[in-house]
């Protein structure tokens, strides 16, 4: 089922005002269930769901590290930020990007899932190229490529960058220092650079004068478990 950009904008607009972490989470869960019931699947309207999901994840980290937070998405025409996070009433711009296996196409996965559902098959399809050894061997390069693409834009003012590492790997087999070394030359294009997964995160660089986001990660850190997202 194909969706229009108008439908994506409609979803995003519901998050274009500040919400507490819990309110944002409850809202996205409600909308997600409504769309799944109406459409049977989320294929074609994934982008706004991914953006708010990543924003909530980052906000949950910052609430633990830095203080009370609120989160919102920003209008599509904003070229610097995908989301804004307020920490103790101080506002920060965040750009969000997604690193995946080379050649992987998210829509193809959901197209397969949709066809399986039509045919009465309910098991989850395998992720395209989703092998742990590939993620562990090449993950640092996939992350660097996304950082480089964003760095080329030379945003002004500088945003904070979040790379959602959406590929399979075991944290103990993907060295944070290797990722940092590969991304180091681009760090001055951003106020901070983060890498997050479903369960772990890294704060690679923080260029704020007072290190408001807390200490740099020396190893993969566990995602806060306050919200089951």
Mean pLDDT by 10 residues, the chain (229 residues): 64 90 89 73 63 92 93 86 94 95 60 52 48 87 97 96 94 96 98 96 95 94 74
228 domain-assigned: no
* Residue 96 resides in a domain: yes
Asked if the structure places residue 200 within a domain, the reply is yes
**How many structural domains is the chain composed of?**
1
| Boundaries of domain holding 71 | 5-222
- Please give the pLDDT value at position 210: 85
pLDDT of residue 129: 43
Q: Is residue 80 part of a domain?
A: yes
Q: Which residues does 99 contact at the CB level (< 8 Å), separation at least 6?
A: 139, 142, 143, 145, 146, 163, 164, 165, 166, 167
Say if 227 falls within a structural domain.
Answer: no
Q: Is residue 91 domain-resident? A: yes
CATH number of the structural domain spanning residue 168: 3.40.1540
């Amino acid at each position: 089922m194909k969706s229009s950009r108008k439908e994506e904008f409609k979803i995003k607009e519901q998050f274009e005002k500040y919400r507490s972490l819990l309110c944002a989470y409850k809202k996205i869960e409600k909308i997600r269930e409504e769309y799944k019931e109406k459409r049977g699947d989320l294929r074609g309207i994934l982008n706004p769901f991914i953006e708010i999901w990543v924003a909530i994840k980052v906000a949950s980290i910052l609430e633990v590290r830095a203080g009370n937070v609120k989160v919102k998405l920003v209008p599509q025409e904003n070229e610097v930020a995908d989301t804004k996070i307020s920490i103790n009433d101080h506002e920060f711009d965040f750009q969000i990007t997604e690193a995946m296996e080379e050649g992987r196409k998210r829509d193809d996965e959901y197209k397969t899932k949709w066809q399986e559902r039509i045919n009465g098959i309910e098991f989850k399809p395998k992720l395209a190229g989703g092998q742990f050894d590939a993620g562990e061997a090449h993950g640092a390069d996939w992350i660097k490529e996304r950082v480089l693409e964003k760095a080329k834009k030379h945003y002004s003012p500088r945003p904070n960058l979040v790379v959602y590492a959406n590929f399979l790997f075991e944290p103990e087999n993907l060295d944070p220092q290797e990722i940092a070394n590969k991304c180091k030359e681009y760090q001055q294009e951003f106020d901070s650079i983060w890498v997050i997964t479903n369960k772990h995160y890294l704060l690679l660089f923080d260029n704020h004068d007072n290190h408001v986001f807390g200490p740099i990660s020396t190893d993969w850190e566990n995602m806060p478990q306050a919200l089951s997202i």
